[in-house]
Amino acid sequence: MATYRPIMRDYKPVPAKAQPRARWMVWFVAGLGLPLILVALMLPDQNQPPPLAPESTSLVSIGPVPEVTAPAKIAALVTTTEKLISTKIPPLVAAPQPEQERIVLTVRRGDSLDRLFRRHKLSAADLAGIMQDDLAKQYLRLVKPGDEIIVLHNDGHISELSREINFDSSLKVSREEEGFSAGMIKHKIRVRQVEAKGRITSSLYLAAAEAGISDRTIMNLTDIFAWDIDFVLDIRQGDEFRLIIEQRSRDGVAIVEGNILAAEFTNQGEVFRAIRYEDPDGHSSYFTPDGRSLRKAFLRAPLSFSRVSSNFNPNRRHPVLNTIRAHKGVDYAAAHGTPVKAAGDGKIIFRGKKGGYGNAVILQHGGNITTLYGHLSNFNRHARNGSRVNQGQVIGYVGQTGLASGPHLHYEYRKNGVHKNPRTVSLPKAEPIDPALKADFLRTAAPLINRLDDTPLVLLEANNTGDFNITNTET
């Protein structure tokens, strides 16, 4: 049997693959160690006092950090950072305040304060809070058409509310931390005397407007001279007037004209003067410069009328009956419902329907004088049979009852039962000023009369600007 020797092949030994060196461990150690070293360097030493912070910077005191290991130092650093982030540093610039909106609430017919707030989208809760204040409730509970309430608000939330109570005081409601509080504001009132003068070229009201006089003041002027001048029928082109008036200003702003202190009216060449006098009891009236009262016992016309539709005429043809029938009074055409006033102090002796007069009122005055008011649409409910009335008190309203072709007042004046023309009859004069007060009246009247004398109308023609001539008299 043959013996076989193994065949030896010439193979080169394959070298073993080199194992990679563990470099990741080096990087891991370096990445973890370097930050720890840096953290250790940044933390303050326990033996060193902490540095003082500048006054303008708000920092939180951390206190000394004890010697701890690196992981503990990292945890402490994280905690400190969180504290710094959570600390509120006051802003260098104040936050802007929300813008306030100012609105004026004007009361309409049928309005209430609640309806006003809802209309303007204001907070109902704020209104309830405001009405918890007794003073605010007193002056805001009732409102009437034309009243104005000024409100400052931010998106409907009230910050301030104010309302004028009278000329010299206002209510102010302000928001506070615990609700609303109300108080009264007293305005600074200044009274001075001003002069106005003018000449009538077309109408009294146009001349007054050119002189800068309000409608209210010119109405007062006509009331002062109502016993002597018929301002509807007697006014002529070229008539002149001059006034000395109180002017009231509030907080430096002229607001309203006050009383007429002195007045002069020249009507068809005849001069009428009036001086206002207030007695010690506070009662005021107008007198002539020598102390005679301008207030007569009777008014020339007992209403504000547009025209005389029929004069006193014993031979007039009646517009309804078409027959000659004496017209024993004066017919004043006026709008339906115009108030009719008592021509003088007296007592109502008849009120009701009276034949062709329709609804009528008859007054009994002193001196055996009676006045009749006919064709009324209605009566004043306070003026009843037997009641006493004062001059100027409303007793009824213009209408067209009875034999009337249109709305007007039929007015009759009788003395001792005899009809007189109301427009021309000599009217009884009122009582003069009390003799005990006459000396004081003359002292009051003297400077006013001098000012009327020292203001010639020719100056107005040269400078008819409509401005007041301001005097140096102030109170």
Q: Of 185, 182, 144, which Cα lies nearest the Cα of 167? A: 185
* pLDDT at 341 exceeding the cut of 90: yes
pLDDT digits (tens, 9 = 90+) for 115-142: 999 999 999 999 999 999 999 999 998 8
pLDDT digits (tens, 9 = 90+) for 43-79: 665 555 555 444 444 444 445 545 555 556 555 655 6
**Rounded Cα gap, residues 473 and 475, in angstroms:** 7
SS3 state of residue 208: helix
Q: How far is CA 185 from the centre of its chain?
A: 14
Contact 299, 227 (CB under 8 A): yes
CA gyration radius for the chain?
A: 47
**Class of the CATH domain delimited by 101-186:** alpha beta
CATH (one of 2.40.50.320, 2.40.40.20, 3.40.50.80, 2.70.70.10) for 307-420: 2.70.70.10
SS3 state of residue 294: coil
Contact 61, 49 (CB under 8 A): no
Tally of CB atoms within 10 A around 178: 7
pLDDT digits (tens, 9 = 90+) for 264-293: 999 999 999 999 999 888 888 999 998 988
Q: What is the DSSP letter of 436?
A: G
- What are 120's two structure tokens? 């303007």
**Rounded Cα gap, residues 90 and 217, in angstroms:** 62
Distances (CA, A) of 410 to 28, 106, 360, 390, 403: 122, 41, 9, 20, 11
Contact 449, 299 (CB under 8 A): no
* pLDDT at 377 exceeding the cut of 50: yes
Comparing 21 with 237, the larger pLDDT belongs to: 237
Domain boundaries, the chain: 101-186, 190-296+433-474, 307-420
pLDDT for 87: 58
Kindly tell me the sign of the dihedral angle through the C-alpha atoms of 89, 94, 96, 102: positive
Please determine whether the domains at 101-186 and 190-296+433-474 fall in the same fold group of CATH. yes
Which amino acid type is present at position 473? T
* pLDDT at 203 exceeding the cut of 60: yes
pLDDT for 79: 63
190-296+433-474 is a CATH 3.10.450.350 domain: yes
pLDDT for 470: 35
Question: Which helix (H) or strand (E) element contains residue 80?
Answer: helix 70-86
Q: Number of C-alpha atoms within 13 angstroms, CB side, residue 135? A: 15
Is 0.95 topped by the overall pTM?
Answer: no
Please identify which residue in the block is written with the tokens 């009276």: 354
